[in-house]
Amino acid sequence: MAVHPIEERYGTPEMRAIWSERNRFACIVAAEVALAKAEAAHGMIPPEAAAEIGRHAPTASLERAKAIELEISHDMMAIVRAISEVSGDAGRWVHYGATSNDILDTATGLQLAQALNLIDKKLRILLRVLLKRADETKSLVCIGRTHGQHGVPTTYGLRFAIWASEIGRHIERLEQLRPRVVVGQMTGATGTQAALGPKAMEVQATMMEFLGIGSVDVSNQVISRDRYAEYFMFCANVATTLDKIGIEIRTLQRTEIGEVEEAFGARQVGSSTMPHKRNPIKSEQCCGLARIIRSAVEPALQNNTLWDERDLTNSSCERVLFPEASILTDHCLRLMATVLEGLAINRAAIRRNLAFLHGINMAESVMIELTRRGMNRQDSHERIRVASMQALVEEKPLADVLGRDSEVLRYCSGADIAALLNPDSYIGTSVSQVDRVVAKLTAFCI
C-alpha cells in the first residue's frame, strides 16, 4: 500500500525509477565495478579479479543485500558482501581501499546525472510550449496589471515570452551546475586516500572516467554538500517559476476576470457540491507542490555543516530529500506543460477588461505625448493625474474629462486624444521582443 503520494499520485515513472531502491542498488554496484577496474588499470589488484567482479557483480541481488543488512545493520557493507558472494575468489578485492561514502556518494552522482537529464528534457518540452503560445499571441493586446490594478496594456505573447525566457535561463543553469553536481569520489576514511597508496588520485580519476562523471578535487569522507545544496536550490528555482506561472493562470481564471481557463474534460467534476465549478486545479497543484520542493533547500544547506571529517546527520535526511524534490520537480514540469498546451484564452473577456476603465488606464500615453509636444513633463503628469482621478470619481471616460481641459487641447485635439487612448496602439516593442525571444530560444526546444 502506498504511503507517500509520490508513490502513486505525483511523479512520472521515469523519475520514480531513477530514485528507486533498485536503481540505487544498480548505481552502487556500478561504482564498485568501476573501482575494481580502475584499481586493476593502475596495478593495485589483479586484472582477472577486476574482470570477474565486472562479470558477476551485476548479478548480485538487492534482496540478498537486504537480508544481510538485517544481520549486520550496515547497508553498504551488506551490498559489499552480496557482491563478494557472487564474485568467487575475486570477491576479496571488492571495495578495496574504499569507505562507504566513496561508493554511496559516487552512486548519488550517477543518479543525479540521470535526474538532470530528465529535468533538462522536461524543461525543453515546456519551453517549446511557451514559445508556441508566445508566438501565436504576440499581438493579442490585454490589460497590464501592477499592484493588482489596471495599468497600460501589454500582450499575452509578452507574458508567455517572459516565462519562456525564465525557463531558458533554467536550462542554462542546469548546464552550468551539472559539472559541479554530477561527481564522484574515492578519497577514503578521512579524505587522505591513505588506503589506496600513491596512485590513489589516478585511481579516482580513472574510476570516474569509467562511470562518465566528474571527479572531486578534494574531499573528506563525504562529498561536500554545497554541491547537492545547489541541486536543491535549482529545483526550488524551477519550481518557483512554475509557481509564478500557476498563480498568474489562477488569477486570470478568476470569474470576474475570466481571460484564461485550464482545459476542462467533458466528464470532469469541479466540485462535490457545486456542479458548475471549473477550477484551475492543475495550476493549484503546481503552486502547492512548489512549497514542498522549496522546503528541501534549508535541510540541504544544513547537510553541508557536518562535524569534522563527517557525521551521519545528512544521510537520513538525503534519503527523503533526493527522491521527493526530484520527483515533484519533474512532475510539476510535466503538469505545467500540459496546462499551458491546453490553456483556453477568452478573447472577449480580454477586450472587456481592456476597456473596463474607459481609457483611464491609458493616461500615460497622453502624458508622454503632451510632453513630446511641448508641455513640461511634471506639469503634464500632474494635469493627467488630476484628470484621471476626476474621471474615476465621476465614472466618466478619460477622453470626456480631457476634452474639457483647454490646456490639454492646446497640444492635442479631441481626435488626437481618442487615438492616444486606443490600447491597441500602445504596446511598444512587445511584438519585436517576443520575436527576439522565440528566435533566441527555439534551438533549445525538444
Q: Could you read off the pLDDT of 238-256 as tens digits, one per residue?
A: 999 999 999 999 999 999 9
Per-residue pLDDT band for 162 (boundaries 50, 70, 90) equals very high
Among the options 4, 61, 139, 271, which is catalytic?
271
Q: Would the pLDDT of 269 be above 90? A: no
Can you tell me the distance from the alpha carbon of 297 to that of 156, in angstroms, rounded to the nearest whole number? 33
Each residue's pLDDT tens digit, 273-287: 788 888 999 999 999
Residue with cell 500615453: 365
Is 139 annotated as catalytic?
Answer: no
Side-chain-facing half-sphere of 333: CA atoms under 13 Å: 29
Confidence band (pLDDT; 50, 70, 90) for 271?
Answer: confident
CATH architecture entry for 357-425 = Orthogonal Bundle (1.10)
Query: Which residues, in sequence order, are CB contacts of 7 under 8 Å at separation 6+?
Result: 16
Do residues 182 and 109 make contact, with C-beta atoms less than 8 angstroms apart?
A: yes
The 10s digit of each residue's pLDDT in 287-318 is 999 999 999 999 999 999 999 999 999 999 99
Q: Dihedral sign, CA of 277, 280, 282, 287?
A: negative
Catalytic (active site) residue 271: yes
**CA–CA separation, 90 vs 72, rounded Å?**
22
Residue ranges of domains in the chain: 5-45+96-137+154-264+277-351, 357-425
Would you say residue 265 has pLDDT above 80?
no
**Residue 232 clears pLDDT 90, i.e. is over it:** yes
More confident residue, 6 or 202: 202
- Please give the CATH topology (third level) of the domain spanning 5-45+96-137+154-264+277-351: Fumarase C; Chain A, domain 2 (1.20.200)
- Rounded distance, CA 385 to CA 367, Å? 9
Mean pLDDT value of segment 433-442: 98
Could you read off the pLDDT of 93-133 as tens digits, one per residue? Answer: 999 999 999 999 999 999 999 999 999 999 999 999 999 99
Q: How far apart are CA 295 and CA 134, in angstroms?
A: 31
State percent of the chain over pLDDT 70.
Answer: 100
Mean pLDDT on 133-143: 98
